[in-house]
């Protein structure tokens, strides 16, 4: 059943009374599914209604909204565009497209649609407010880019940090010259109590991690533990600190005998992203050869502006700390190969059949992701069941089929790929004849999806073993609590 905007309806399309009655029934069922948070079911119901009557803008606008909730932003833009083509005065369609573009960090495109809303409905005060907020974002980004172009120096260096004083009221752990497990565990306990690390120590962790990451390639090779022959791969955590602690409770803390790889999207959405990322960075410093981090599409400037991480860091520390986080994120590796046979990337594979591991390793990553090419597709692509490639539901990256996966693995002498990037009901999914595995480690994503989380453990045979888990309680702070502007406008 179609889930994207259908082809333009012919001018002489005939919709019978029976078809219209059934279409309205399906639309109402879609609305009920949407209300229950069942986004995919809502999409299917709206699609069935569209199949019966492809001439009504509200059907496409409703499906666009469901696709936004399912994070299918490319499909949402297509649906909203179709709704506008059917009814150029349909305000909700412009809102939907503005929201989807905002979600992709396309702030100028979002602003154009909000300006269109104000033009169609000049007395809509809410639309005027949203338009002004979006204008502020566009102007701020332009200003930040102008500053960045004028000043290429790091926002802060270790000498400056060493000169910082410790706050007199600080009663937490103190970071020694060499990070220790005692410090990391004390820091974690402090985070559990909803207390902060002193800014001096947060800065030092970031600078030390940045210094380390700058020395590693874009593709990192790693091995199982020599003694336990174990390796754990986790997917998206998305600021769900207490669920991260639950992973360590179930699977053991990171160590030389218990290596981990976290596969991107450490931050955003969840409102404990700062605690998550400082914990992960601290373990990276403690066990640099046994704790690994891949970059995700949310370790990027545009996503952090929209989904709460920037706002959280500003609220808990400062604007300057935000800038330093962005500098560190630029140096996160794009891929890891485990035991020479398992490729781990956040998103997926490529639009080009000829990409090799050597190409990934040679990719310049010290930048924000471009709109196409290896880096973009590693961070954004998704698998599809059909052969070949398809247009991305997200509006960036590609969909790749089982033949694409098979050809890539054969070309690069690999056994299978592990990727994340998508919510799965069980926390994982095995696709492409076992050659493409998705793992997602944020249970009850955004406190509303009801999904389990999962992690993968590998042994000497490299056969993936899955552990699933439910969400655990967390303090009463809602997801996206720090998202001021951006998606918080809608």
**Each residue of 65-104: pLDDT tens digit?**
999 999 999 999 999 999 999 999 999 999 999 999 999 9
Q: What is the pLDDT of residues 245-261, one digit of tens each?
A: 999 999 999 999 999 99
**pLDDT value, residue 6:** 45
Q: Is 71 left (phi over 0), alpha (psi -120 to 50) or beta?
A: left
Mean residue pLDDT across the chain: 94
Q: Which helix (H) or strand (E) holds 102?
A: helix 91-103
pLDDT-derived band at 150 (thresholds 50, 70, 90) equals low
Question: Does 24 score more than 60 pLDDT?
Answer: yes
Question: Is residue 325 within 8 Å of residue 313, measured between CB atoms?
Answer: yes
Question: Does 271 score more than 80 pLDDT?
Answer: yes
pLDDT-derived band at 276 (thresholds 50, 70, 90) equals very high
pLDDT-derived band at 10 (thresholds 50, 70, 90) equals low
Mean pLDDT calculated for residue range 259-265:
98
**pLDDT value, residue 489:** 54
Which residue has better confidence, 241 or 155? 241
Question: Does 354 score more than 60 pLDDT?
Answer: yes
Please list, residue by residue across 11-25, b when 16 or more beta carbons sit within 10 angstroms of its beta carbon and e when fewer do.
eeeeeeeeeeeebee
**pLDDT value, residue 148:** 66
**pLDDT value, residue 7:** 45
In the set 174, 238, 290, 298, the catalytic residue is: 298
Give the rounded percent of residues in the chain with a pLDDT score beyond 70.
95
CA distance 174 to 167: 12
Paired residues of 431 in beta bridges:
436
Q: Return the closest-CA partner of residue 272 out of 345, 192, 330.
A: 192
Question: Does 233 score more than 80 pLDDT?
Answer: yes
CA distance 412 to 335: 14
| Count of CB atoms situated within 10 Å of the CB of 258 | 20
Mean pLDDT calculated for residue range 291-313:
96
**pLDDT value, residue 144:** 75
CA distance 455 to 439: 6
Q: What is the pLDDT of residues 444-462, one digit of tens each?
A: 999 999 999 999 999 999 9
Question: Does 2 score more than 80 pLDDT?
Answer: no
Question: Does 13 score more than 90 pLDDT?
Answer: no
Q: Which helix (H) or strand (E) holds 329?
A: helix 319-329
Give the rounded percent of residues in the chain with a pLDDT score beyond 90.
88
**pLDDT value, residue 5:** 45
Domains of the chain: 17-147 (1.25.40.10), 158-489 (3.60.21.10)
Question: Is residue 213 within 8 Å of residue 207, measured between CB atoms?
Answer: no
Q: Is 298 an annotated catalytic residue?
A: yes
**pLDDT value, residue 490:** 60
pLDDT-derived band at 154 (thresholds 50, 70, 90) equals confident
Helices (H), 259-318: 273-286, 301-307, 309-316
């Amino acid at each position: 059943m179609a889930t994207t905007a259908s082809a333009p309806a012919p001018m002489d399309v005939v919709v019978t009374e029976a078809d219209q009655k059934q279409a309205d029934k399906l639309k109402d069922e879609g609305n009920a599914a949407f209300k229950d948070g069942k986004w995919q079911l809502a999409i299917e119901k709206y699609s069935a209604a569209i199949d019966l009557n492809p001439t009504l803008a509200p059907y496409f606008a409703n499906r666009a909204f469901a696709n936004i909730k399912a994070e299918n932003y490319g499909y949402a833009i297509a649906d909203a565009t179709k709704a506008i083509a059917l009814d150029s005065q349909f305000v909700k369609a412009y809102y939907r497209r503005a929201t989807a573009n905002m979600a992709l960090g396309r702030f100028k495109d979002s602003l154009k649609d909000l300006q269109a809303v104000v033009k169609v409905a000049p007395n809509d005060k809410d639309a005027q407010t949203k338009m002004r907020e979006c204008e502020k974002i566009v102007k701020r980004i332009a200003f930040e880019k102008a500053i960045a172009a004028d000043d290429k120096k790091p926002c802060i260096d270790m000498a400056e940090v060493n000169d910082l004083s410790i706050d007199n009221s600080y009663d937490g752990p103190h970071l020694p010259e060499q990070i220790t497990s005692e410090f990391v565990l004390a820091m974690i306990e402090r985070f559990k109590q909803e207390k902060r690390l002193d800014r001096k120590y947060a800065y030092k962790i970031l600078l030390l991690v940045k210094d380390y990451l700058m020395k590693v390639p874009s593709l990192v090779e790693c091995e199982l533990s020599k003694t336990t022959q174990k390796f754990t791969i986790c997917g998206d955590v998305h600021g769900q600190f207490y669920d991260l602690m639950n992973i360590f409770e179930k699977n053991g803390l990171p160590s030389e005998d218990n290596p981990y790889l976290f596969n991107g999207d450490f931050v955003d959405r969840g409102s404990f992203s700062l605690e998550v990322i400082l914990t992960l960075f601290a373990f990276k410093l403690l066990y640099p050869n046994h704790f690994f981090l891949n970059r995700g599409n949310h370790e990027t400037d545009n996503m952090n502006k929209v989904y709460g991480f920037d706002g959280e860091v500003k609220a808990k520390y400062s604007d300057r700390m935000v800038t330093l986080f962005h500098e560190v994120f630029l140096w996160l590796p794009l891929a890891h190969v485990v035991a020479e046979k398992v490729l781990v990337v956040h998103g997926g594979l490529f639009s080009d059949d000829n990409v090799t591991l050597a190409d990934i390793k040679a990719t310049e990553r010290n930048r924000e992701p471009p709109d196409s090419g290896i880096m973009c597709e590693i961070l954004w692509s998704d698998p599809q069941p059909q052969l070949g490639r398809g247009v991305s539901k997200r509006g960036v990256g590609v969909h790749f089929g089982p033949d694409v996966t098979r050809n890539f693995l054969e070309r690069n002498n690999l056994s299978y790929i592990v990727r994340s990037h998508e919510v799965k009901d069980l926390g994982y999914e095995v696709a492409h004849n076992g050659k493409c595995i998705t793992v997602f480690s944020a249970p009850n994503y955004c406190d509303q999806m009801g999904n389990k989380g999962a992690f993968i453990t590998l042994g000497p045979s490299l056969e993936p073993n899955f552990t699933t888990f439910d969400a655990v309680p967390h303090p009463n702070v809602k997801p996206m609590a720090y998202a001021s502007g951006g998606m918080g406008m809608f």
